Chain A
Amino acid sequence: MNCIAVRDQLPELAVGVLPQREQVALERHLQWCAGCRKEAAELGQAAATFAFALAPAPLPVGLEDRVVAGVGRLAARPRTRRRPRTVIAAVIAAAIAIASLGWGAVMAGRAERFAERAAQAEQARSRALAQFQHVLDSLPFQARADETHLGQLAPTSAIQRGGGAVLQLVSPTRLDFVVVIVNGLPRDPSLAPYRVTLKDAGGRVLQGGRIAELDADGGGQAFRQFKNTDLTGFTTVMVRDASGRVVLKGTVDQSTGA
């Protein structure tokens, strides 16, 4: 979906009457499009005004204690309880399909000027995000829009070139996973392997996979599935070269899908 089609549907999303099938596609777009997401939030806030304008009904006696007890029971349970349904094969197949598509020589980092490199990096990120839509569509189950999250990776000052994208599945019923696709990185063999790390706000770090070598376009992909770890909150994603320098960095938006 493009932004024009999405914005056409945002009013219906805001008032909660958008058909489910269209809602899934729209919410996937919102995960990576900040402009549409902002408009969706504003329209949603406007729609919620109606609920607040109703004359209040008296609350049942004892409801507060029942709510507190219900949340307490949930919070006391182990947070992660998933059916171990693997999607490794499907995701790897999809990632390989993406790699085989190739992003063309323009992404080989051949630009001379900074502006060209910046444009290439932006193009790399945009194309990677678009390809992730194909990954989601190719999964053998319907990935829920509120469980799949996308992010873009931008080059740091260490190399000032390349780009990438991140796809996370954060699900209460399936094993969480992360896929990272990069492109336009320097093909200097001494910089490989590249390693992906995920970090949460508390500073906890997870390894997100390894890119042993790059293809002709300076591209590659990393994948990792997590059997016992919940990826909730692990929104900062970094790609480091062999010396430990952060060469790409970005954030995954896990806030969408309420």
Chain B
Amino acid sequence: MNARTEGPLLAREEQQLVEGLLAGNEDAVRALYVRFARPIFTLGFRLLGSAEAAEELTQDVFLTAWRKAARFDATRGRLSTWLMTIAHNLAVDRLRRETGVTRPTLVLVDEVPEVAAADEDPLLERDAAVRALQALSDAERKLLVRAYFGGLTAREIAQADGIPLGTVKTRLRTALIKVRRANQDKDRP
């Protein structure tokens, strides 16, 4: 299997990669790693607070993806979303399990120093993701960050801010729809 490591993947190519993963094909696993390991590791690092935990998470994501691979359907959603959802769920589960572990201080995108250019692989999704998040107001962005990175439920946010639960849910939904619309121009070819 000679999977491309640059440029957006077609649905057929995503399906082939996942089928390769299921078969234990080394080329497929390495191709998936090249494309997705860094954002997975980064998410783990930001959520779990250490490189060791992020490394464990990255390995767990690939093993979980192998277990669920037979159910992946590229016509229903993008591979990147599927993998990041697995990563986020595993990380949040771990945070909840490990009582006593303080939630890491969450760092917003613009506050994170860039890594050296020589060390930065071309992240296919990042530029588009940053652009999509610019569609949000500061308040919407902070709300999503509190939920997605902070693990706060809508009820917890409503109680903390002293606003109705329905209002928080509506704002979450509105913000996600804005991001979704901004994302549409970068959807799979």
Contacts and interface: CB of A to CB of B under 8 A. Distances in A.
A and B part of one assembly: yes
B110 to A, nearest CB: 9
Nearest to A54: B42
Interface stretch (A36-44, A113-121, A179-187, A210-218): A36-44
Interface stretch (B3-11, B59-67, B97-105): B59-67
A68 B29 contact: yes
A15 B92 CA distance: 10
B77 A75 contact: no
A67 B54 CA distance: 13
B59 A12 contact: no
Nearest to B170: A11
A164 B144 CA distance: 41
B170 to A, nearest CB: 9
Interface string B68-85: 101111001110111011
B163 interface: no
A12 to B, nearest CB: 5
Given A49-B132, A71-B29, A63 B152 contact: no
A57 B87 contact: no
A55 B109 contact: yes
Contacts of B115: 55-58
A166 to B, nearest CB: 16
A76 interface: yes
Contacts of A50: 129, 133, 144-145, 148-149
Interface stretch (A82-90, A190-198, A250-258): A250-258
A146 B148 CA distance: 22
B144 A45 contact: no
B172 A12 contact: yes
Interface in B103-147: 109, 112-115, 119-121, 123, 125-126, 128-130, 132-133, 144-145, 147
B130 A59 contact: no
A150 interface: no
Contacts of B46: 54, 57
A49 B43 contact: no
Contacts of B148: 15-16, 47, 50-51
A44 B80 contact: no
B54 A57 contact: yes
A64 B144 contact: no
A11 B33 contact: no
A15 B130 CA distance: 17
A95 interface: no
Interface of B: 21-24, 26, 29-30, 33, 37-39, 41-43, 45-46, 51, 54-55, 58-59, 62-63, 66-68, 70-73, 76-78, 80-82, 84-89, 92, 109, 112-115, 119-121, 123, 125-126, 128-130, 132-133, 144-145, 147-149, 151-154, 169, 172-173, 176-177, 179-180, 183
8 contacts: A11-B173, A45-B77, A51-B39, A52-B80, A57-B41, A57-B51, A67-B62, A254-B71
Given A43-B180, A51-B42, 18 more contacts: A11-B169, A11-B176, A15-B148, A16-B92, A17-B154, A43-B173, A44-B85, A45-B183, A47-B176, A48-B81, A49-B183, A50-B148, A51-B43, A53-B132, A54-B43, A56-B42, A56-B120, A75-B23
Interface of A: 8, 10-12, 14-19, 37, 41-60, 63-64, 66-68, 70-72, 74-76, 146, 172, 232-233, 254-258
